[in-house]
Amino acid sequence: MQLTMFVVVPLVLLLSGVAIESATVKQKMPFEVRFPTKTGARILRRELDLEISNPKGKIKEVKVLRRRRQTTTEEQEFLDAHNEARFNVVPKAANMKKIKWSNELAQVARNYAQQCNWAHNPARTTDTKALTSQFSYVGENLYATSVSSVDPKSAVQSWDSEKSSYNYTNQACLGVCGHYTQVVWANSEYVGCASHTCPTFTGLPTSFNGGTIVVCNYGQGGNYNGQQPYMTGTPCTSCPSGYSCSNGLCVSGGDSNGSQTSSTTEDGDCFEGDGSNYQGQASTTVSGKTCLVWSSVYDFLPSNNYCRNYFSAYGVTEPVCYYQPGSYYVEPCGLPKCGSK
């Protein structure tokens, strides 16, 4: 037995004040740095165990762990299922953003899933605002099954399957379509999901006892009345400014297509110390490659900067960046040291 539930229309949009950022997030971050030596290069491969006290910026603690084989995490499965659905809309979407993970949305989803309540979390927006000021409205999809574990893909596919009832042209729906339109809401760039196995549920028959609830929260929430979830057209032809194209979806920052470049000299800024605190926008490596935004490599890292030295504990002495999606290889940004130029 399966059930789904979604939110149709956001009620009021209120801009939040100052965010309280008290969340502590633990994350692993594999990396590889090549140090030039007289005889070639020394390659350092490690996995950092990070404790991030403020997901927007500062890393508190860095420890080495033995590098492990990458496994597909539940988080990645939720993301992949969403992005697959977002790419496969019919008709095609011209402005569909690639969806990214939000630890804050996931934390709110986790807290709520644990309550085993088959009803929307009326506090999801305010709960999220207590962790981040990123979203003025948070959307939510729910899924419940009488089975004790859930595959993220099944939940997302059940929401996505409503597309057969949805007519894009006139937004007509035969039955329920709101989960689908939230999954493919072009402007919902972040998602955070959680599942929880519940001995009993509030709001569901006892036949669900021992089953699982899935909660996905979306920022910025979608399903605005009278709006279509996305613009139709050739994929990526209407990405917002500052976005580039990655596999038919719009991604912020970086440049996956080689069309835009910026140079460190143009940015004209410099770093101090070992570059751990550098927050500038310089985005080219010493060898001229275009840096990725950190958050496009690891969702838990900030999206507002490209060059940073997270590896100073390993003797790295200047800001570095990633330039290749899916690779752990980082390269110095070639920024000048302040005062030496």
Between 178 and 332, name the residue whose CB sits nearer to ligand NAG: 178
By CB under 6 A, residue 277 contacts ligand NAG: no
- Shortest spacing between CB 105 and ligand NAG, in angstroms: 30
Write b or e for each residue in 231-255: b if 16 or more Cβ atoms lie within 10 A of its Cβ, otherwise e: eeeebbebbeeebbbbebbbbbbbb
Considering CB under 6 A, how many residues would be counted as binding ligand NAG?
Answer: 7
Between 145 and 181, name the residue whose CB sits nearer to ligand NAG: 181
Between 169 and 340, name the residue whose CB sits nearer to ligand NAG: 169
By CB under 6 A, residue 148 contacts ligand NAG: no
- Shortest spacing between CB 227 and ligand NAG, in angstroms: 16
Between 167 and 202, name the residue whose CB sits nearer to ligand NAG: 167
- Shortest spacing between CB 165 and ligand NAG, in angstroms: 10
Cα end-to-end distance, the chain, whole Å: 67
Between 244 and 305, name the residue whose CB sits nearer to ligand NAG: 244
Considering only residues 231 to 260 of the shown chain, the ones binding ligand NAG according to CB under 6 A are 245, 257-259
Closest to 168 (Cα-Cα) out of 110, 98, 117, 96:
96
Between 144 and 250, name the residue whose CB sits nearer to ligand NAG: 250
Cα R_g (the chain), whole angstroms: 22
- Shortest spacing between CB 187 and ligand NAG, in angstroms: 22
By CB under 6 A, residue 165 contacts ligand NAG: no
- Shortest spacing between CB 256 and ligand NAG, in angstroms: 8
Site string for ligand NAG, 66-85 (x = CB under 6 A): --------------------
Site string for ligand NAG, 182-221 (x = CB under 6 A): ----------------------------------------
Segment lying near ligand NAG (by CB under 6 A), choices 66-74, 164-172, 300-308, 310-318: 164-172
Judged by CB under 6 A, the residue of 70, 126, 167, 202 near ligand NAG is: 167
Judged by CB under 6 A, the residue of 22, 71, 72, 170 near ligand NAG is: 170
Between 170 and 340, name the residue whose CB sits nearer to ligand NAG: 170
Handedness of CA 258, 253, 276, 52 (dihedral sign): negative
Closest to 250 (Cα-Cα) out of 301, 186, 329:
186
Between 22 and 170, name the residue whose CB sits nearer to ligand NAG: 170
- Measuring CA to CA, how many Å separate 179 from each of 6, 13, 142, 318? 6, 20, 8, 46
Judged by CB under 6 A, the residue of 169, 206, 207, 225 near ligand NAG is: 169
Between 167 and 227, name the residue whose CB sits nearer to ligand NAG: 167
Segment lying near ligand NAG (by CB under 6 A), choices 24-32, 162-170, 225-233, 333-341: 162-170
Q: Where along the sequence are the contacts to ligand NAG (CB under 6 A)?
A: 167, 169-170, 245, 257-259
